[in-house]
Amino acid sequence: MIKTSNIIHKFSDSVSFEFPDIICEQEKTLLVLGQSGVGKTTLLHILAGILKPTSGDVFIGNTPLYGLKGHKLDKFRGKNIGLVFQKPHFVQSVTAEENLFLAQKMAGQPLDKKLSAELLDALNLNHRKTAKTYEMSQGEQQRLSIARALINKPRLILADEPTSALDDKNCEEVIKLLEQHSENVKAALVVVTHDNRLKDFFSNNIELH
């Protein structure tokens, strides 16, 4: 689960964001909606352990995220937080399957080829496991991004604008994949987006202003 308390981030005296408290339990989902300029990306980076807030707390389970520093924070983040970005970034020189292995290695996790194969199969990517990521379609890359987010069985999955470039059919498909596979690894799922279509899929939502 993830819980925040009194998060404020100041970029300067004139630019700051104050965010509502967030709680998303294990195996539950949360939609964070907001238009451009309301701090969605800032909040996502704070929740992901990438940007330390000016004040306030973020807890993953019982662990205060920003009580960790340096290598300990990196290792905790890699093991406990799965990230799905709008535009996935992969290591281009290795295969789809090897990108999953790298995610395990970076988190200090043992290599689990069985889980990798299961995820690739579940996301209809088994036939593409030896392809380089630049050879894959946008939809395939997005599904691989979901597999990478799940490979370390994280407690939290954060998705940044996962549907903004998709038509209605593919939008629904991606959200169902995220929900299904988050539930499979017993993770909390938080989706941060400006895409109002997603209100139809989430009963629990927060709107940033």
Q: What is the mean pLDDT of residues 102-107?
A: 92
3-class SS at 66? helix
Burial profile 93-118: b = 16 or more Cβ within 10 angstroms, e = fewer: eebbbbbbbebbeebebeebeebbee
Are the C-beta atoms of 84 and 145 separated by less than 8 Å? Answer: yes
Residue 174 is given by DSSP the state H
Q: What is the mean pLDDT of residues 120-139?
A: 93
- Does the predicted model carry a pTM greater than 0.95? no
Indicate whether 96 pLDDT > 80.
yes
State the Cα angle at 102 between 99 and 107, rounded to 5°. Answer: 135
Give the pLDDT confidence score for residue 22 in this predicted structure.
96
pLDDT band (50, 70, 90) for residue 197:
very high
d(CA 45, CA 100): 22
Q: Tell me the percentage of the chain whose pLDDT exceeds 90.
A: 79
Indicate whether 163 pLDDT > 90.
no
d(CA 111, CA 104): 6
Are the C-beta atoms of 144 and 132 separated by less than 8 Å? Answer: no
Q: What is the mean pLDDT of residues 2-18?
A: 95
Q: Which domains does the chain have, with CATH numbers?
A: 2-207 (3.40.50.300)
d(CA 176, CA 8): 32
Q: Where are the alpha helices (DSSP H) in the chain?
A: 40-47, 70-80, 96-106, 113-122, 138-150, 168-184
